[in-house]
């Protein structure tokens, strides 16, 4: 986990610090599937500005996630662009909105911030292609490779059920 000691930056009021920061990223769980950030260490563009009332924090980076398509389980990649902001007041008191959850004892928790920012930027479903046909719910074959339906068989089984019913009457 990557953290940055904000005190060591010595940013004075009205000044700002801007630099590339290497940030370690952890694998993601989404919908029970595992997604790997590539690269697992990103170069984040971090800006720390000391305003009169508090710190303005900004983090930007690009990352690509590799993992299974939720519909057909083929390899999928998802590109994510992050541009996140946080604010930490000098005297936050008890006000939650004046406090960044990623600033703990003057340490900026970059990995945790990056992880949550990626989670917010992800789509609901990661697909290998926007029009992925998925797996057949009847036989489990990949409908992208073998497009097919089971309409006739479904009808057949309905007819046979009807037939059985008729026999009993």
Kindly list the residues in this chain that would bind Zn ion in the complex (CB under 5 A): 69, 71-72, 74, 128, 132, 136, 138-139
Which of residues 65 and 132 has its CB atom nearest to Zn ion in the complex? 132
| DSSP states of 78-113 | EEEEEEEEEEEESS-TT-GGGS-TTEETTEEEHHHH
Q: Is 134 left (phi over 0), alpha (psi -120 to 50) or beta?
A: left
In the complex, the smallest distance separating the C-beta of residue 37 from Zn ion, rounded to whole angstroms, is 20
Please identify, using beta-carbon distances, which residue of 49 and 74 lies nearer to Zn ion.
Answer: 74
Residue 124 vs residues 69, 77, 115, 154: alpha-carbon distances, Å? 12, 14, 16, 32
CB of 55 to Zn ion, least distance (A): 43
The nearest distance, CB 138 to Zn ion, in angstroms, is 4
- Closest distance of CB 84 from Zn ion, Å: 29
What CA–CA distance (Å, rounded) separates 4 from 122? 25
Our CB check for Zn ion shows the closer of 69 and 110 to be 69
Question: Residue 23 or 132: which CB sits closer to Zn ion?
Answer: 132
């Amino acid at each position: 986990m990557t953290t940055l000691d904000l005190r060591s930056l010595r940013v004075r009021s009205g000044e700002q610090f801007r630099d590339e920061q290497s940030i370690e990223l952890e694998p993601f769980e989404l919908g029970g599937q595992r997604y790997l950030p590539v690269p697992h260490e990103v170069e984040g563009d971090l800006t720390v500005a000391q305003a009169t009332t508090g710190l303005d924090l900004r983090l930007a980076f690009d990352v690509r996630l590799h993992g299974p398509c939720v519909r057909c389980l083929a390899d999928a990649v998802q590109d994510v662009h992050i541009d996140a902001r946080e604010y930490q007041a000098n005297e936050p008191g008890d006000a939650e909105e004046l406090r960044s959850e990623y600033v703990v004892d003057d340490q900026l928790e970059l990995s945790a911030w990056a992880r949550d920012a990626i989670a917010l930027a992800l789509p609901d479903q990661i697909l290998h292609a926007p029009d992925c046909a998925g797996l057949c719910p009847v036989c489990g074959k990949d409908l992208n490779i073998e497009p097919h339906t089971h309409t006739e068989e479904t009808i057949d089984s309905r007819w046979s059920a009807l037939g059985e019913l008729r026999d009993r009457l």
